[in-house]
Amino acid sequence: MPRPAFTLLELIVTLTLIVILAGVIVPRMGGSMGRRELREAAARFAHTSRALRELAVARQRVCAIEVDLDAGGYCATAQSGQGGGAQWQTLQASWLKAARWPDEVTVASYRTADGKTAASGTQYLKFFPDGTSSGAAIRLVCRQDAYEIVVHPHSGRVVYGDARTTEFAQDQYDLGD
């Protein structure tokens, strides 16, 4: 008994359907990957902020996240020295590593507690020994998606979420300005 085989027409139709499905599915996966990278970048930054606040309280010294808006990254630092001679030194710890935003994620806005916005340069989000912070509202974007990270100046509390679906209370945007 002869074995059934596929005809050339059946193979062409099957391959055409596979190509069409791939053309529909692959772009959607790309958008999903970008959203995931954005969500993870916001979560990592929020985690670093919380850990650095705890470190500032535990060590009773000023710590900060140095955010380099031009290079697209940040690192944990601590202040050494007093007054005008104080300098920032990068902290080396397995749980406080320097990080870069994923390639498609950028900082759309960085607003300080006094209402100033920055689009470039280096910004210091400071955490003080009493648990307070200098405060900031940071908006991360990836394509059409955005995440907000708010660090309250009076409490050092860190809140983050999808800018479209997360309902931030008015006091979360009140950075004291």
Q: What is the rounded average pLDDT for all residues in the chain? A: 84
d(CA 139, CA 147): 6
pLDDT in tens, 110-141: 999 888 999 899 999 999 999 999 999 999 99
pLDDT cut 90: percent of the chain above it? 51
Region 53-69 average pLDDT: 93
Report how far residue 6's alpha carbon sits from residue 125's, in angstroms, rounded to the nearest whole number. 65
162 within domain boundaries: yes
Does residue 174 surpass a pLDDT of 60?
Answer: no
**Structural domains in the chain (count):** 1
Residue 85 lies in a domain: yes
- What is the domain range of residue 35? 8-173
Mean pLDDT lowest for which of 23-32, 63-72, 119-128, 164-173?
164-173
Residue 123 falls inside a structural domain: yes
